[in-house]
Amino acid sequence: MNPFRKAVEDGDHAAVVDLLAEDVVFTSPVVFKPYAGKAITAAILGAVIRVFEDFRYVREIANPDGRDLALVFEARVGDRAIQGCDFLHFDENGRIDDLMVMVRPLSAAQALQAAMAARFELIEREASGAS
């Protein structure tokens, strides 16, 4: 099992963060502009852990060279069932340097956007190191 998948499934946020490259780029399913950097990506992923309920990966699709991975997931956001995929790219050191998330259906994506927007001030404070 991929270490990222294991860390997510174990709820081990620190292990997830350890797998991120300093220059990771996170592409959100609900925001146009990607986020660059480990601090903001870690803070966003921490919030996602609190927003998603009954999260589980249901499929893993890996490139034979080990540099690309797609993890298909299912979860809930409030009363909305959501399906999605985490697309990961690993740098030459085995760290995640690109993480793109896509979700469906639209109603669940909208619920996710609203839940994350409600937490974004806290996310930004966590990313900047403020409490």
Model pLDDT for residues 85-106, shown as the tens digit of each residue? 999 999 999 999 999 999 999 9
pTM: 0.91
What integer is the mean pLDDT of 64-84?
95
Cα 105 → chain centroid: 17
Q: Report whether 113 contacts 30 (CB < 8 A).
A: yes
Low-confidence winner among 65-69, 83-87, 114-118, 122-126 (lowest mean pLDDT): 122-126
Q: What is the mean pLDDT of the chain?
A: 93
Rg, the chain, Cα only: 14
Banded model confidence at residue 130, pLDDT cuts 50, 70, 90: low
Kindly tell me if the per-residue pLDDT of 32 is higher than 90: no
Query: What pLDDT is recorded for position 126?
Result: 87
Name the more confident of 23 and 64: 23
pLDDT at 123: 86
The values of phi and psi at residue 123, to 5°, are -60, -45
CB 110 within 8 Å of CB 31: no
The proportion of the chain whose per-residue pLDDT surpasses 70, expressed as a percent, equals 98
**Cβ(35)–Cβ(44) under 8 Å?**
yes
In angstroms, the CA 74 to CA 76 distance is: 7
Q: Mean per-residue pLDDT for 3-26?
A: 95
Long-range contacts (CB closer than 8 Å, 24 or more residues apart) made by 53-62: 53/77, 55/8, 56/9, 57/5, 57/8, 57/9, 60/1, 60/2, 60/5, 62/2
